[in-house]
Amino acid sequence: MFQVQLSTDGDVVTLTHGNDIARFHAIWLRDNAWDEDTRAPGNGQRLIALRDIDAGVHVTAARMEGGQLHLTFAPEGRSIAYDLAWLMEHSYDRAQNRAPGWLADSAEAWDARLMDNVPTGDFAAVLGDPSARAAWLAQIARYGFAKLQDGPVEDGALFKVVDLFGHVRETNYGSKFEVRTEINPTNLAYTGLGLQAHTDNPYRDPMPTVQVLYCLESTAEGGENMVVDGFAAARRLREENPEWFDVLSQHCARFEYAGTGVRLQSRRPMIELDPDGALRAVRFNNRSAAAITDVPFDVMPAYYAAYRRLGEIIDDPSMEVSFRLEPGESFLVDNTRVLHARKGYSGTGTRWFQGCYADMDGVRSTLAALQKPRKEAAE
Ligand code: FE2
């Protein structure tokens, strides 16, 4: 049972539903009306601009009728009906500040304990069954990575993975890149080394936000793939030492990659926050780290201490989830969040992977469209 209360000045409408209380401002309510003069029927595009709403807009009457909230606005003098569930779903009546490092949307931090339940989809099911596709994409949105198994074993199969949610992001490496290694006794010594967990291409701005790695051959022992939740690592750093978290989020690092005809450079923080403190991205890649010049002299020692500790947390086995990929299996990471690495080899053989980039907006869009189909227009 909903109850409505109007402030005496008509500026605030309060909805009460059981223990839930949500206050809304008159200007917000008028701007978010869904009547056919405000929103186009069908595609829902907004038909008015803020300049079309009087700055002194207020509510003169509020009543419940037929399961809807009816509000009369002055100076327009119009009455507009609101869907109560929509209003409660869009409530913004919350405490002003959240601790920096909070997780937006449906993200959930994880550590090695996720190993018992590695997010996985089946290629044929995800391709053919919309609910299986939504479930697979929802795992990527929640954990920042997922495996896909039983896919085709053929050159370019990774593009079929990208087709499930979006488009390939081509770079100077081409539309895909080859990771092909012959591991024999002569080169075992150096190829056998694992890589430190990293995010890819932090020197691009914007960086590619999805990486797909697809296994076509894997006869060598070892060489498992591993992933670390960069958001969990950043949050652990903050728990241990809030100043170190601040120093990495409040200063820019620099990243660089120089190749034939390319010199990619970026100036972005290792821990990037939204203006409201939500974790937006983690960038961590020792191979493309450039000289850091945006940290004041007196702060540099703390910056290096924080950078070192973040690396130690990332290297901590209690943070990592590892899995072996067989031919036809692939995994996808949210490259703004989840670090990846390959572990060392312990035997000889061949290993052939193909990789490509794509973007998370495709993941989120396809997921949202599957969960809530709606005719959409551009913008
Ligand atoms: Fe990589």
pLDDT tens string, the chain, 379 residues long: the values are 899 999 999 999 999 999 999 999 999 999 999 999 999 998 999 999 999 999 999 999 999 999 999 999 999 999 999 999 999 999 999 877 789 999 998 899 999 999 999 999 999 999 999 999 999 999 999 999 999 999 999 999 999 999 999 999 999 999 999 988 887 766 555 566 678 999 999 999 999 999 999 999 999 888 899 999 999 999 999 999 999 999 999 999 999 999 889 999 999 999 999 999 999 999 999 999 999 999 999 999 999 999 999 999 999 999 999 999 999 999 999 999 999 999 887 778 888 999 999 999 999 999 999 998 764 444 4
Q: Are residues 358 and 280 in the same domain?
A: yes
For 170, 224, 229, 248, 297, the CA distances from 371, given in Å and listed in that order, are 28, 34, 25, 36, 50
Question: Are the beta carbons of 365 and 182 closer than 8 angstroms?
Answer: no
SS3 87: helix
198 C-alpha to center of ligand 1: Å?
A: 6
Q: Is 126 inside a domain boundary?
A: yes
DSSP state, 294? S
Q: Is 375 inside a domain boundary?
A: no
Q: Are residues 261 and 123 in the same domain?
A: yes
Q: Are residues 119 and 164 in the same domain?
A: yes
Q: Are residues 47 and 128 in the same domain?
A: no
Q: Are residues 37 and 159 in the same domain?
A: no
Q: Are residues 131 and 58 in the same domain?
A: no
3 C-alpha to center of ligand 1: Å?
A: 54
Question: Are the beta carbons of 323 and 118 closer than 8 angstroms?
Answer: yes
Question: Are the beta carbons of 201 and 171 closer than 8 angstroms?
Answer: yes
pTM over 0.75: yes
Q: Please identify, among 89, 104, 121, the residue that sits at the C-terminal boundary of a domain.
A: 89
Question: Are the beta carbons of 15 and 4 closer than 8 angstroms?
Answer: yes
Number of domains into which the chain is organized: 2
Give the residue among 207, 341, 357, 196 at the shortest CA–CA distance from 272: 207
Q: Are residues 60 and 127 in the same domain?
A: no
Report residues near ion ligand 1: CB below 5 Å: 200
244 C-alpha to center of ligand 1: Å?
A: 26
Q: Are residues 181 and 327 in the same domain?
A: yes
Range of the domain at 217: 112-369
Q: Is 157 inside a domain boundary?
A: yes
Question: Are the beta carbons of 327 and 319 closer than 8 angstroms?
Answer: no
CATH at 12? 3.30.2020.30
CATH at 294? 3.60.130.10
